[in-house]
């Protein structure tokens, strides 16, 4: 009897322990395994690709209108796979860039041609219904060319809505297209990485819309070489630089990084021939020749590196370290340390200022300017709450203030605040498109790219990604 009770108690303990382990695993799933706030879901499966669906409205209408997508499925080997967990309504007249993020899902490897939608729509004006399709209709849309997904790939599809046909025939107003890879588009490209979904998105700066995507394992940093029409993406898990052709949006090469375990950040030399790569785990700084793909030099620092910038006028690399609260200056060829600046805080961003270095510190609402010609004449400028990044654009310095939802615009010559631009959310990474004079700001909270008109300092559009935007770059030609 005693043995029986012990056996039952032991079995009960095993069951409870198993349940606890299951619950613990469920609570610690990656972000993508949870349902997204937009009603879609995705997961980082190792044997699948990702499909992201956007809605493009062309041309944009002025009347108040709505499109509700009740169901969205994709055909795979005679089986319809759901892409949308919950119905989604899009207010069409609120799309200031004519595009909306709809859904994202991990799908098995294979070929994809057809989407099936159950949709309804309405148009109204002056508090009365002008036209409506309250009944839910079912539409099947096909691509002209199939999308083929293999492991790790990330592709975008675009549901196109013709506004002029929307009120008369909703079914005929819808069509489907895949990524845009036109040769002439590369000069109007911006790129943004979303590490959580292993994806880099290509954006059209003429329309402020997503136009394509590509899958990269754990992308953490990127840079663009506009002259050679190349995009370099740093993969943390692969310890490699992926080289992507900006015309075809396809991987051209992969540069392995020796002496690196988990690289997290890199910058390019002014001639864009050399990459300086930081690895926080090994404390190494690597110099890679991008033309040959070979390692030219590497240096292990006494403290783990965090951020870097190339000082063009001095031909030096500035590297910050959280642990030592310093910025080290290294030679550009052999990575030899020649000087160290004690900044007294952990720098979150470094910016080349010619004869000076802009430093964005943590836990202080200021930007510090270190003058190389006058070392004892350092300046500080108060900015918004919790500043994170700083970039140059048209002789101005822009600082993203994560805590106050603003962008501080500094006049670089006078080092004074020229404007405080309210963008909302939690702005982090930035990039500037000189051809269009757009300032792109990654909003972590709203999972979107905010578009600021640099001439009027006004927020003009938001590019919804459905994922957390990371590093941003823009073609500068």
pLDDT for residue 182: 60
pTM of the model: 0.88
- Asked if 316 and 340 count as a contact pair (C-beta separation under 8 A), the reply is no
Binned at pLDDT 50, 70 and 90, residue 164 comes out as: confident
pLDDT at 43 over 60: no
pLDDT for residue 416: 74
**Sheet with 219-225, edge to edge strand ranges:** 219-225, 230-235, 240-245, 250-256
What rounded mean pLDDT belongs to the chain?
Answer: 87
Binned at pLDDT 50, 70 and 90, residue 413 comes out as: low
- Asked if 392 and 351 count as a contact pair (C-beta separation under 8 A), the reply is yes
Enter the tokens of residue 47: 């044997």
Residue the block writes with tokens 């937009």: 38
Which helix H or strand E contains 18, and what residues bound it? helix 2-27
Binned at pLDDT 50, 70 and 90, residue 209 comes out as: very high
- What pLDDT, in 10s, does the model give residues 179-191? 876 656 778 999 9
Cα separation, 262 vs 257, in Å, equals: 10
Binned at pLDDT 50, 70 and 90, residue 257 comes out as: very high
pLDDT at 60 over 80: no
Sign of CA dihedral 213, 214, 218, 223: negative
Give the residue extent of every domain in the chain: 31-177, 257-382
Enter the tokens of residue 234: 């740093």
Q: Give the residue-averaged pLDDT of 463-468.
A: 98
- Please tell me the CATH superfamily of domain 257-382, with its number: YVTN repeat-like/Quinoprotein amine dehydrogenase (2.130.10.10)
Q: Name the β-bridge partners of 380.
A: 368
- What pLDDT, in 10s, does the model give residues 270-300? 999 999 999 999 999 999 999 999 999 999 9
């Amino acid at each position: 009897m005693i043995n029986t009770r012990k056996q039952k108690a032991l079995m009960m303990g095993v069951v409870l322990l198993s349940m606890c382990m299951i619950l613990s695993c469920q609570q610690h799933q990656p972000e993508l395994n949870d349902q997204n706030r937009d009603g879609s879901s995705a997961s980082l499966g190792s044997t699948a690709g990702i499909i992201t669906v956007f809605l493009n409205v062309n041309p944009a209408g002025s009347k108040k209108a709505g499109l509700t997508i009740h169901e969205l499925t994709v055909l795979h080997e005679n089986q319809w796979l759901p892409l949308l967990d919950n119905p989604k309504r899009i207010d069409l007249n609120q799309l200031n860039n004519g595009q909306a993020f709809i859904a994202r899902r991990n799908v098995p490897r294979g070929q994809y041609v057809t989407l099936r939608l159950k949709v309804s729509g309405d148009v109204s004006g002056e508090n009365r219904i002008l036209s409506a399709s309250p009944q839910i209709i079912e539409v099947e849309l096909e691509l002209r060319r199939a999308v083929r997904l293999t492991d790790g790939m990330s592709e975008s599809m675009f549901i196109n809505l013709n506004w002029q046909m929307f009120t008369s025939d909703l079914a005929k107003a819808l069509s489907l297209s895949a990524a845009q890879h036109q040769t002439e588009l590369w000069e109007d490209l911006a790129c943004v990485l979303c590490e959580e979904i292993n994806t880099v998105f290509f954006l059209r700066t003429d329309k402020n819309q997503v136009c394509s995507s590509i899958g990269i394992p754990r992308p953490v940093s990127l840079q663009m070489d506009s002259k050679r029409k190349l995009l370099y993406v740093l993969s943390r898990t692969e310890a490699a630089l992926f080289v992507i052709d900006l015309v075809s949006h396809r991987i051209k090469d992969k540069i392995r990084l020796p002496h690196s375990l988990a690289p997290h950040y890199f910058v390019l030399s002014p001639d864009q021939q050399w990459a300086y790569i930081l690895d926080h785990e090994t404390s190494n700084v690597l110099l890679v020749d991008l033309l040959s793909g070979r390692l030219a030099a590497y240096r292990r620092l006494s403290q783990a590196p965090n951020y870097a910038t190339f000082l063009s006028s001095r031909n030096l690399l500035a590297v910050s370290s959280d642990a030592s609260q310093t910025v080290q200056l290294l030679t550009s060829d052999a990575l030899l340390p020649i000087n160290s600046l004690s900044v007294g805080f952990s720098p979150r961003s470094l910016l080349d200022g010619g004869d000076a270095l802009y430093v964005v510190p943590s836990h202080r609402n200021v930007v510090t300017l270190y003058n190389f010609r006058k070392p004892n004449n350092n300046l500080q400028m108060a900015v918004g709450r919790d500043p994170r990044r700083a970039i140059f654009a048209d002789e101005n310095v822009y600082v993203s203030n994560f805590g106050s939802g603003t962008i501080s615009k500094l006049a670089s010559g006078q080092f004074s605040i020229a404007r405080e631009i309210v963008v909302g959310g939690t702005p982090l990474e930035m990039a500037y498109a000189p051809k269009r004079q757009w300032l792109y700001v990654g909003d972590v909270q709203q999972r979107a790219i905010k578009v600021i008109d640099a001439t009027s300092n006004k927020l003009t559009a938001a590019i919804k990604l459905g994922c957390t935007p990371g590093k941003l770059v823009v073609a500068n030609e």
